[in-house]
Structure 1
Amino acid sequence: MRMSNMNRLLQRQLKRAFGKDVDLASLPEEIQKLLKDIEASYENFEKEKRLLEHTIQVNSDELNEAYKIIEKHNQTLKEEVKTKSHILEQYKEAMDQSLLISKTDPSGRITYANDLFCEISGYSREELIGKPHSIVRHPDSDPVLFKKMWDTILAKKIWRGELKNRRKDGTSYYVNTTILPLINPQGEIEEFIALRQDITDRVIAEINLDRQRRYNQMLFEHQENIVITANEAEGVISANHNFFETFGFKDMEDFKSKYQCICDLFIEKEGYLPPSKDGVYWAEIILKNPKKQHKALMRNASGEERIFNVALREISFDNEPFVIASFTDITELEEARRRAEASEKAKAVFMANMSHEIRTPMNGIIGFTQLLQQSNLTVRQKRFVTLIEQSTKTLLGIVNDILDFSKIESGKLELDYVPTNPFIDLRDAIAIFYGKAREKSISLQITIDPNIGECLLMDHLRVTQILTNLINNAIKFTPENGVVAVDIISLGRTENKESVQFSVRDTGIGIPEDRLDKIFEPFTQADASTTRNFGGTGLGLSISASLCTLMGGKLQVESTVGKGSHFYFSLEFERCESNKILSEQIQNKPVYVIQSSNEMFISVLQQLNHFGVFYQIIPPQILDQMEKNHITFIFEAELYDQVKDLTSNIILIDNSEAAANIAKHDTNVFHISAYQECPSIIYNAMLTLNAIPETQKKGTKKSSQMNLKVLVAEDYDINRILIEEMLAKYSIVPDFALDGAEAVEMALREHYDLILMDINMPNMNGIDATKKLRELGITTPIVALTANALEGDAERFMAVGMDDYISKPIDWDKLNSVLTHYHKQLNEQAKADKDDNGSDESEGKEEIKTQNSKTNNKDSIDPTIEITVTSLLEAQSKLHFPLQVIEKLFRKFVDTSLESLAQMKAALESNDLQTIQERAHAIRGIALSLQLNEVSELCDILEYGAKDREAIDYRMLVNQLSDTLMALQNHCEAIIRQLHTHAS
């Protein structure tokens, strides 16, 4: 028998009870049957149990599923209610935002008012609730209108209409109103709801439009001019009162009974509109030439011939073409114009004669005065001659002003728009005032916005003329140690145009407020004493203002007496394309910028970014990784020695004395000492360095003795000194002209082998001077001196008759090349002349003189003197300066170093390491240039020790430096004597 679970359970129980296994099969049959019945009962019970559990489970799942369905349905209903409530809220909000909503009881008392109703009416909700709706009724409202409204709504109908209401503050507003009666189930009026739309703006606009219409009609009727409207089909359609009065017609019907077209009134005469004929509509003649002045000759009611200026505008009304024509009586103006033209012609002849008659003797006076200055005169006589020359030039300037003013006044001044680079053309023109500003210790600050385009079409000569006048006045009227700031700022650009503001500020004497509106009038100045104290005609500002107007701008001024003035004007220029932009001119890329904490560092990066110049920032610690011959920006003079062997294209932005000395000794360094006064100078600096081939910057600088007679035209005094020193190395003593006009005069007066011509000069620039000389038959070679050697400049210079150019700062190699070329040319010409005359002299050769030869003087001298002389001779060899310049630099170094030393000693007492660092830096820079190694090494330890705040014996080092400098001072004269002895 298969043992079931129950049998196994029974066996275990029996074993536990009897202590032994019991064989169920051995039990009596009745017991076995009983067990089977019990087992069957158990099995039936299990089946019923499982069936019941299954039934319960099924019913439970169905209940759960039904519950879920009910829950889901409830959730859906909730979401629908929420959505509809949200939408309903939005409807309400939309209505509340756009409509004034109120409810009233059947008697008209307010029971509800929304926020917009409160806002528009000016009443609070508390002030409105319980009040009759008439609280907002305007007193001007029509009572009949309100009666009709009440009759309608009480009849349980909807009323619509426009109402004028009054706010709480008494002002009016207008509403488009809809009032709906709400009916209860019993058919009675429960309440009224009013929906109102604020139409105040529309109603006011309609009122204004009607007023404007009536105003326009009034203007039309009361115009002094004759005004008509017409078309080709109907002729004159309408005309103002003046039309009928002038030509003697009663009304339009009277005119139309005799004529159809106003052109029937035209009198045929040359120069005037003809009567229409051959089917040509008279208005077409004007419409085809709208810029031309059109005049009609017509006869008025009295029979007089009158001249009318006819202006026409074509319009379309309801898709039909019309013209509005205005006839202005200019009979008296035409007569005045004829008289003025005759007068202008006579004045032009007079001005031409006056110009010739005055300029001729004045130029003679200037020329002979300059000749007289070169003769042997006493000091007193020279002073008299100088005064004569200055007075004559002043008078010549006045004549020029009068001639310019005459051209402007007569409308004969023409503008010449040419591609202009503001960073070159305008800056160079402005920079000529640096010398004049320095004479009065005035800070001249020039800022050209880097956002300005590099190519603009402008008449830069006239723009420069305005700026020149404003800057000249600013310097003239600003006391010593003042400031003159010139700003050229971009106001914005479009695809084709750019607006630029030009501004000149000064800290001068200022202009009284009651004179500001007078200063732009011709021959007028701010004060009657101005001419006496400062000179001038009072024409400069008038001319500048007129030039501004001609170019589409307006010269304006703001001023405070005792504080200064601000002149400014804005002009719009067309943009142009140029292949001369800075980023395309840089040959060796990238430009290197040595990392620095100097405040100018970030500004330089910003400008390079704007101009699209590819650059790389180099930390000072890895300078040796730089590629050679790249333009390099440095901001500390002490980095010069580390960079100079890697490139000669150095832009040094540092206002220290050491930096200035480096620039003096290395002409390849572009030194910017006052970067804040003119940040845009870096544009010129990069172009200048890039224009000089690297091969011309290397090699030993040699000089030769050349028998050349040279004229130098240069207005800047420092440049004259520099050129004089450079030419002195070739034993050339040049003549100087301070501007192009003087250069022309001198070249006509004297024969020169070579002319060095600055491009940007006052009075007459180098290009105009060259043109003049070539026109006068002068064939002397002319070499341009230019601060902006751009691609195309050489061709431009050659086109006007120049033979070559040298860029600034002047490079020794280029100067040597130019001088050698023309000296050789002169020798070859001389040889050819001698050969033609049968001469058998041999060709001369240039003899190069070495300036650094040393003597064999074996006299016993102080070691300090010997070491210093050797150092100075080495410096001369590196700097290629004449001995006189080295002597001047050495004397200046001794004086300034002792001053710095005194400051360092004072700083020791207060432990002022900053001053020690600055003074050591100042001494070190020039000491390096002069090869004074002991001084530079001591300063190097002091400078960097103080900079890093190292614990060193500053007092001992300062004392050592003091001993060294005092020795140089004590032996200064002996050193100078020995220096000349060695050199000779």
Structure 2
Amino acid sequence: MALGELVEETLAEREAEVADRPVELRAEGTSRHAEIHTDRGRLKQILINLVANALRFTESGNVTVRIEHGEGDSAPVALHVEDTGIGIPSDRLDAIFEAFQQAEDGTARRYGGTGLGLTISRSLCHMLGFALEVHSEVGEGSTFTVRFQPESTEPELPREGMPVRPAEDRWSDQGDGGEERPLEGRTVLVVDDEQDARTLLRSALEDLGATVLEATNGLEGLEVARRVEPHLITLDLMMPGMDGSEFMRRLRRDPQLMDTPVVVVSMLAGEDGHRFVGAADVLSKPVEASDLEGVVSRLVGTSEGRVLVVEDDPDARHLLLRYLTDSGLDADGVDSAEAALAYMDRTPVGLLILDLVLPGMDGMELMERMRSMDSLASLPMVVLTGRELSREEEDIIRGHGARLVHKREDVDRELRRALDALFGRRGEQHDQ
């Protein structure tokens, strides 16, 4: 891609922002032929974020984007975004790359911004195999540098935990022997009102092979979900209008969508003791790519794992186990909640099929116990019951992210639907 063309295009799109301000946008080094092999869309997003950040903190003077060339006819080695703004204290240079952080406590109130732009930019740089550096003096301005050829020859682990792959692997769409893409052929819906957060999630999910759709609030998210039935939804909690909690409640009451795994991605995820009813898992903002890959691979990947049936009636347990094994699944059974907890303590389980009426600890209490345990908090569940439940009981069960199947219904058909959804086989055809 032509780097100079990208710089001039990006600056032209920002000209309206300085039309009535004593700030000049400049480009240097763009006349010389400079090509770089990378993902154009992601590099442009990095540049947009860096220029927007420079404009936000520059009240007068200029913002300059400069391409640094190597010796002779070599490819460009760096891209600099320089401003004459307020500058950054030396003891805050590392903090500005952390989520929701700015140089001073009063900066956000005066200049605005979400505090995610630089975090996103650094994460995207690491995705592309680049380095993002900053040099600044208070009152003089700042220079942010995207270094295409980082000086260190040691593999770098970024602050956000995103493993760096060789740059040529990051923008290649080739599927011949490359890294495994666990979300290939899957659709993920990202519901978040922050553009920067959506950009980071989209980039990480697309790297895993997903087709990514976006929604900016809960209501729009429900509309998109009903239209496309995604394999997975990532959900922010703090959104205007319909927030994430209300979105989750409506989703779990919608027969079409109730089985869809939801991963909450929120700054609230780091709060001790904060659990999110109905979520398959919870990740902190900004999301770490390694954590995201582990979660989504487990939820919609191809590995099915063992199914554990908790049913005290031996005949019913035998029938369920025979159905599951005939379906090609590895299944086992126990006759009590206590036995189930002991089993799961020593053996990995991918799905729990649970009767509500059990001797000793009943099914409702078992669900509560599991959701309070880190190791079992996000385990998918199917609840079987032969008794009539109140609306409140059904809401509690669905609030735990479990699918409810009444024994008086066509259990075979309902179980098939549940297994298809929970094991990520939505949209595939099955024998009837």
Bin of the TM-score, shorter chain as denominator length:
0.3 to 0.5
- Output the TM-score relative to the length of structure 1: 0.16
Normalised TM-score (structure 2): 0.34
- Report the structure number with the largest CA radius of gyration: 1
